[in-house]
């Protein structure tokens, strides 16, 4: 599984404070901790409260690149912030994210192509969040169609079915998980699938357990990537074990250590 560490995000008070004070050490140690814990890439988000997101994004990218060459996921709903990040990127890059809105697809798909970036496409539109599997599939198909039109390789596209908090949208959970399998048959080569995991447990009292249970179920439906907290050891152990059950790793008594030795 491809793991994107979620912890460099301005919505966390320690990161917000570090961004404001331009304290590189906090950001860099957060980056290295996540890599050590098994992150394959790092999400970079300057947070909803940032007053100068363009400058903050660039500073974060440069700061993180000083200590790791892992791919960076530039996370913003504003295309100009992503573009600012791309302006200073040296590592491999993931654009996080486009929606199914034509205006966004027109900007972000060419940008991804130009920078040989992976692209995360979330299945929402200006009409809001889909309410069932069919709506998710329709939006996913729109995103794939835009990629095909612009000759962006579909295997570099990560479709996100939008994970809702279980205490808000319990009735949708099954649809969300099943969407993952259906996304895979939209095109050939198939798009990849991803979830922003932590949202599923937002506002609940047993976050880690809900996160790891959802993740193992989603992996069984073919999920390839997740944005999550790699410092949650039990979550990581559950993900590694799910891959073992799915025969993606050969069993040995120390299979958890073996995965971490990669």
Partner 1 sequence: MEPVLEKWQQEVSVVTIGTLKIGGQKTLPYLFTEGPIPNKPVIAFEVWDIAPADWPEELQKNYQDVFSHTIAWAEKCVRQYKAGMLCLRLQGAHPDFGNKSAEEEAELVAELLKRMNLPLIILGCGDDEKDNLVIPACCEAAKDKRCLVGSAVQDNYKTIAAAVSADGHNIIAESPIDVNIAKQLNILISDLGLALEKIVINPTIGALGYGLEYAYSIMERARLAALSGDKPLASPFICFVGQEAWRAKEAKADAAAGIMWEVLTAAPLIQAGADILVMRHPKAIEKVNQYIDNLFRR
Applying CB under 8 A, the residues found at the interface with partner 1 are 248-255, 257-258, 261-262
Distance in Å, CB of 248 to partner 1, minimum:
8
User: 182: how many CB neighbours lie within 10 A of its CB?
Assistant: 20
Please report how many Cα atoms fall inside a 13 Å half-sphere around the Cα of residue 182, on the Cβ side.
18
Closest contact distance (angstroms) between CB of 227 and partner 1 is 21
Q: Which is nearer to partner 1, 2 or 59 (CB)?
A: 2
* Pick 51 or 262: Cβ nearer partner 1: 262
CA distance 131 to 249: 35
Nearer of residues 107 and 190 to partner 1, judged by Cβ: 190
**Residue in this structure with the two tokens 């320690």, named with its chain if needed:** 14
Nearest CA among 243, 153, 144, 152 for reference residue 184? 144
Cβ nearer to partner 1, comparing 51 with 253:
253
Least separation in angstroms between residue 249's CB and partner 1 is 6
CB of 4 to partner 1, least distance (A): 17
Rounded to a whole number of angstroms, the minimum distance from the CB of residue 210 to partner 1 is 29
Q: Are 143 and 123 in contact (CB under 8 A)?
A: yes
- Which residue, 58 or 154, is less far from partner 1 as judged by CB? 154
Q: Give the shortest CB-1-to-partner 1 separation in angstroms.
A: 11
Q: What is the DSSP string of 151-218?
A: T--GGGEEEE--PPPTTT-GGGHHHHHHHHHHHTTSSSSPPEEEEEGGGGGTT-S-HHHHHHHHHHHH
Closest contact distance (angstroms) between CB of 259 and partner 1 is 9
Compute the distance between CA of residue 61 and CA of residue 223 in angstroms, rounded to an integer: 27
176 vs 116: CA distance, rounded Å: 29
Smallest CA-to-CA distance from 103 within 122, 138, 79 is with 79
The gap from C-alpha 190 to its chain's centroid, in whole angstroms, comes to 18
Q: Give the nearer residue to partner 1 in terms of CB position, either 174 or 248.
A: 248
Strand partners, 128: 125
| CB of 107 or CB of 244, closer to partner 1 | 244
């Amino acid at each position: 599984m491809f793991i994107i560490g979620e912890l460099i995000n301005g919505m966390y008070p320690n990161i917000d404070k570090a961004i404001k004070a331009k304290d590189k050490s906090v950001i860099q140690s957060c980056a290295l901790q996540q890599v050590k814990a098994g992150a394959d890439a790092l999400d970079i988000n300057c947070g909803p409260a940032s007053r100068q997101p363009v400058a903050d994004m660039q500073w974060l990218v440069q700061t993180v690149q000083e200590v790791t060459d892992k791919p960076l996921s530039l996370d913003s709903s504003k295309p100009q912030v992503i573009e600012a990040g791309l302006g200073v990127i040296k590592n491999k890059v993931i654009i996080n994210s486009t929606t199914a809105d034509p205006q966004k697809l027109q900007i972000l798909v060419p940008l991804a192509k130009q920078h040989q970036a992976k692209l995360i496409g979330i299945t929402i539109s200006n009409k809001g969040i889909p309410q069932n599997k069919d709506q998710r599939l329709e939006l996913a198909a729109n995103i794939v169609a835009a990629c095909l039109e612009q000759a962006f390789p579909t295997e570099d596209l990560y479709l996100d079915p939008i994970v809702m908090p279980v205490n808000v949208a319990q009735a949708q959970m099954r649809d969300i998980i099943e969407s993952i399998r259906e996304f895979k048959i939209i095109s050939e080569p198939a798009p990849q699938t991803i979830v922003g995991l932590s949202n599923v447990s937002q506002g609940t009292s047993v976050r880690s357990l809900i996160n790891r249970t959802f993740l193992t179920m989603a992996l069984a439906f073919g999920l390839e990537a997740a944005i999550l907290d790699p410092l949650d050891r039990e979550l990581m152990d559950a993900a590694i074990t799910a891959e073992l059950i799915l025969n993606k790793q050969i069993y040995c008594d120390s299979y958890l250590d073996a995965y971490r030795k990669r």
